[in-house]
Amino acid sequence: MKVTTQAIAGTLESSDAQVMILPHSGSVKVELTSSVFDQYGDHIIALAKDTAKTLGLEDGLIKIVDKGALDCTIKARIETAFYRMTGQTADLPWEVL
Amino acid sequence: MAVTNRIRRSMIFLNTQRAALVKDAFVYHPDCVIFDLEDAVAEGEKDSARIQLYQTLKHVDYQGVERWVRVNALDSDLVNEDIRAAVAGGTEGIRLPKTETAAEVKEASAKITAAEKEFDRPVGSTMLMAALESPLGVMNAYEIATADDRMMGIALSAGDYTRTMHAKRTVAGTELFGARSQMLIAARAAGVMAFDTVYTDTDNEEGFKKELQLIKDMGFDGKSCINPKQIGITHEIFNPSAAEIKHAEHVLQAVNDSKENGVGVLTVDGKMVDVAWVEGAQRNLKLAKAAGIYKGALV
Amino acid sequence: MINKIGRDIPDEYLKNGVEPFQGIYYRDGYQYKKAAPTVRAYVKPDGNKLVDSIHDAVVKSGLKDGMTISFHHHLRDGDYVVNMVMKEIHKLGIKDLTVCATSLGKAHNYLVTCIEDGTVTGISTSGIRDEIGEVVSEGKLKHPAVIRSHGGRARAIEDGTVKIDVAFIGASTSDAYGNASGKGGKSDTGVLAYADGDAKYADKVVVITDTLVDGPNFPASIEGVDVDYVVKVDSIGDPEKIATGALRLTKDTRELNMAKEVAKCIYYSGYFKDGFSFQTGAGGPSLATTTFLKQYMEKDHIKCGWAMGGVTEPIVDLFKAGYVNEILDDQSFDLAAVASAHTQNHFEISASQYANPFNKGAFVNQLSFVILGALEIDTGFNVNVVQGSNGILRGAPGGHPDTAAGASVSIIVAPLIRSRMPTVRDKVTSVTTPGESIDIVVTDYGVAVNPRRKDLLAAFKDTNIPLKTIEELRDLAYQYAGKAKASRIYRPGRCLSRIP
């Protein structure tokens, strides 16, 4: 699936992350701003790419502003932004998320 | 058998929309958490909260704290997906809001069964708790409590109830006596647990303690909490006191001794033991043991 | 060279008598000759110490390139003195100075300019924060910065490791002869404890005040017999920022729960006896401990003999209510502490009396309990309070290593995870306080006791203190936050390598 419109999820509160998904052709690109960039930057970028792959995203820009969120929150915000972009609200494939 | 027997003095509501709240609420040592998808979550964030719920259930080790999910009302278009996410994530139980009839419990149970099948979870492993929030719900308390094998307990939710009763919230809780008594009788008759409504004036520690003492004396099993600071106080009141534990030990010791010695009349601390004491003593020691304040071997 | 706690200290730092850390009691029994200042005699009875301006005082003091000057931080975030003095020095074009401060923060930001253009090329301090911390962390200071604890600084001045050429001492009040005090005036700081050694050991001493009073200005923290010049300025500081209005007790349940566990540890430690002494840091959970300590004191009818340290309102409240007999004050943190400093049984002590292990009776060595914070703790119980996990200098050892080494029971209280950063970890970014002096670590996920303290482990055995090993705490931190990668800009050697 390719990103056609933009979508946003999450907040800038402590322990949360705000994720935007935007059209970007060619590949999945991750842009990260993080309060813990030095320590977890590479890890978060890998997590975002992995999540995108699971969701079947072929291209798009994932912009993350991270405020020290745990993995489960970062993943959740990316998935929320993704489903907001696709408009799917029911019958999510929970077993693979 | 879905329903597990355990100590449930405190159940704390967590707004699942807020990452900071759900990441490690187990540090406050509640007996149960309730991940809320209903009232606390803003309309536009229901999807976000639900996905956060699933990832939290799936990935955050809650250190043995029992995890419940308050789903949206049965007549909403959110409840199906709420139940699917909760069951897929492996929640221990689902709290159904605004329950008024046994049929609703059965309907929710059927949805849970479908989700258990879909996500390969043992059918019947997810518990149910019904919140009674209206006069009709309170009137049907016994039918609701006995509607399904999944039923662990019933809980009073006073906000909507008081409104529909045309009553006023009072410090003494006068307006809730009827509902509290009725649902407690129903719960005991049905053999399920009973939980009291939240105390919203979080800064009023004295008032909170009084209400806890009241519901404990009435026979409630626990209380729904809305602020982490209420957890410690709830446990403090619900835990048997040192004197109660001591007395219970004496009673049970006397019972054991009489079995060994064949003595017919039991006395404890100079008083004759009433048979009714024995059950209470056992209950107190079990509670004390589960709370980690009794380490003896009498129960 | 690898020191006793396994940290690699680059050889380039091990010169001029600097040794790697070799254990907290390594210097016990060490004999040394105290340093002494070079003093100009004021024999004629016409000496007038008053000079017109800071500029004149700097000139008269004979300050030259390469010298060492000193400041204290009792004026805290409201300090005007450091910037006023540094601006005059800057104008005079004096270069290559070393600033020996008791702490540096945002009120002293003119030092950033001075560091960037070589006016200041050396710093030694007991705290370094904000812009100055960043500039030094970026490597803009020519010589390595030396961070010493409050006791370590007092020691270095007394044994001659640090030679102060000119001490600039801001004082709330002074008479014309330089009898100066932290009490009274427009900028009341309560005490001037940290400047005591500066006045006694510097070659030239300049008192800067905004309130000249008739002599003798007794009781004087700084005695006129040690002072060369007195300058009156319009204002030495912003009273609003000198003392925080009130350090409010935390309402955060997580912090309160941690404070409760700390008090419980104190109660069951075996050292909680009538006349006990304690010190607590000003962090949320540390400070909140006082509330719960009070409950235990009431319960067992026990009183505290003395409380020491940076004094705060909660301590003053206990003191006023009769739970604490005496206060030993080396720094007044808030308005309540400043006000209390004027009352009976609230005593000012010097930095050396407080924490210098090279004198003959530092009060830290008589402490029953100390409750301290931490940025990071490793599985060897080593604590970092100075350097953020991203490598930036952003804290103060203050009396941390001194009190931890001296107290019968030293307790660290900190959340296990801060904004995803694990507090308990395999290795701290740099060591401020060595693990052999840390006894208990209290976190929101459980409590770890240093295995060296078998007495405490035994005392806690039948309590409901949620005991875990330090490794279990680390594992929990990594389980929830994920293992952090070591910071890219971490430079080994910027750590306290030698104690004291």
| C288-304 tens-digit pLDDT | 999 999 999 999 999 99
- State which fold the C253-481 domain adopts: Glutaconate Coenzyme A-transferase (3.40.1080)
Residue of A72, A74, A80, A91 to mutate when probing chain B, most B C-beta within 10 A? A72
Q: What is the pLDDT of residues C95-131, one digit of tens each?
A: 999 999 999 999 999 999 999 999 999 999 999 988 9
Q: Which residue bears the tokens 């048979």?
A: B275
CB contacts of C417 in chain B (<8 Å) are 24
Read off the pLDDT of residues B134-156 as tens digits, 9 standing for 90 and up: 999 999 999 999 999 999 999 99
Candidate from B27, B292, B293 with C-beta closest to C254: B27
Q: Which of residues 172-211 of C touch B (CB under 8 A)?
A: none
Q: What is the C-alpha R_g of chain B?
A: 20
Residue C497 is predicted with a pLDDT of: 34
Distance from CA of B153 to the nearest CA of C (A): 28
pLDDT confidence bin for C246, thresholds 50/70/90 = low
Contact flag C254-B292 (C-beta cutoff 8 Å): no
Kindly state the average pLDDT of the residues A55-67: 96
Secondary structure class of C287 (helix, strand, coil): helix
Q: What is the pLDDT of residue C15?
A: 82
Query: For B85-110, what is the mean pLDDT?
Result: 98
Report CA-CA distances (Å) from B224 to B8, B158, B196. Answer: 10, 11, 6
| Interface size, chain A vs chain B, as Cβ–Cβ contacts under 8 Å | 70
A16: closest chain B residue by CA: B19
**Chain A: nearest CA to B59, how far in angstroms?**
7
Q: Over the stretch C172-216, which tens digit does the pLDDT of each residue have?
A: 999 999 999 999 999 999 999 999 999 999 999 999 999 999 989
The predicted-structure confidence for C403-438, as pLDDT tens digits, reads as follows 999 999 999 999 999 999 999 999 998 999 999 999
Residues of chain C with CATH 3.40.1080.10: 32-242, 253-481
Among residues C78, C72, C71, C107, the alpha carbon closest in space to that of C334 is found at C78
pLDDT value at B2 more than 80: no
CA neighbor of C196 nearest in space, from C34, C353, C32: C353
Confidence category of residue C10, pLDDT binned at 50, 70, 90: confident
Structure tokens at C456: 């405490």
Burial of C342 (0-12, 13-18, 19+ CB in 10 A): exposed
Q: Among partner residues B24, B61, B229, which is closest to C253 by beta-carbon distance? A: B229
With an 8 Å Cβ cutoff, are B18 and A16 in contact? yes
Domains recognised in chain B with CATH numbers = 10-238 (3.20.20.60), 242-290 (no CATH)
In order of B74, B103, B137, B157, B161, the CA distances from B143 in angstroms are: 18, 9, 10, 18, 18
Mean pLDDT of the residues in chain C: 92
> Chain C, 220-249: which have a CB under 8 Å from a chain B CB?
none
CA distances from C3 to C10, C124, C443, C497 (A): 10, 21, 28, 8
Q: Is C484 on the interface with A (CB under 8 A)?
A: yes
Range of lowest pLDDT (B169-183, C234-248, C432-446, C462-476)? C234-248
pLDDT at C163 over 70: yes
Q: Chain B within 8 Å of C444 (Cβ-Cβ)?
A: yes
The reply to whether residue A76 touches residue B20, judged by beta carbons under 8 angstroms, is no
Segment C74-78 shows an average pLDDT of: 93
* Predicted-assembly ipTM surpassing the 0.90 threshold: yes
| Interchain contact, B24 vs C253, CB within 8 Å | no
Q: Which residues of B touch A16 (CB under 8 A)?
A: 18-20
When comparing pLDDT for B237 and B275, which is higher?
Answer: B237
User: What is residue B296's predicted lDDT score, i.e. its pLDDT?
Assistant: 84
CB contact under 8 A, B27 and C444: yes
- Rg of chain C in Å (alpha carbons): 22
User: Which residues of chain B neighbour C445 with C-beta distances below 8 Å?
Assistant: 27
Instruction: Please report which confidence band the pLDDT of residue C487 belongs to, taking 50, 70 and 90 as the band edges.
Output: low
At residue C247, the pLDDT reads: 65
A35 touches chain C (CB under 8 A): yes
Whether chain C has a CB inside 8 Å of the CB on B24: the answer is yes
Mean pLDDT of B258-281: 76
| Cβ-based neighbours of C29, under 8 Å, separated by 6 or more | none
Please report, rounded to a whole number, the percentage of residues in chain C having pLDDT higher than 90. Answer: 80
The tokens for C274 are 């009538």
Interface test with C, best of A36, A37, A43, A72 (most C CBs within 10 A): A36
Cβ(B175)–Cβ(B168) under 8 Å?
Answer: yes
Comparing alpha-carbon positions, the chain C residue that sits nearest to A39 is C485
- pLDDT-derived band at C486, boundaries 50, 70, 90: low
Handedness of CA C201, C206, C212, C216 (dihedral sign): positive
Q: Using the beta-carbon criterion (under 8 Å), do C256 and B229 form an inter-chain contact?
A: yes
8 Å CB contact of A36 and C487: no
Does B117 contact C at CB distance below 8 Å?
Answer: no
Q: Are C202 and C163 in contact (CB under 8 A)?
A: no
Which H/E stretch holds residue B182?
helix B177-190
Task: Spell out the CATH class of C32-242.
Answer: alpha beta
Give burial (CB, 10 Å; 0-12/13-18/19+) of C31: exposed
What is the per-residue pLDDT across A15-59, written as a single tens digit (0 to 9) for each? 999 999 999 988 999 999 999 998 999 999 999 999 999 999 999
Q: Which two tokens stand for residue C360?
A: 């003959």
Nearest alpha-carbon partner for B219 in B176, B180, B273, B190: B180
CB contact under 8 A, C390 and A38: yes
Annotated ligand binding at B149? The verdict is no
* Residue B160 assigned to a binding site: yes
What local confidence, expressed as pLDDT, does residue B155 receive? 98
Q: Is B29 left (phi over 0), alpha (psi -120 to 50) or beta?
A: left
* Nearest chain C Cα distance for residue A70, angstroms: 6
User: Tokens at residue B248, please?
Assistant: 């219970």
Give the residue-averaged pLDDT of B175-202.
96
Which of chain C's residues have a Cβ under 8 Å away from the Cβ of B61?
479-480
Residue B102 has pLDDT above 50, yes or no: yes
Structure-token pair, residue C1: 């060279």
* Percent residues over pLDDT 70 in chain C: 96
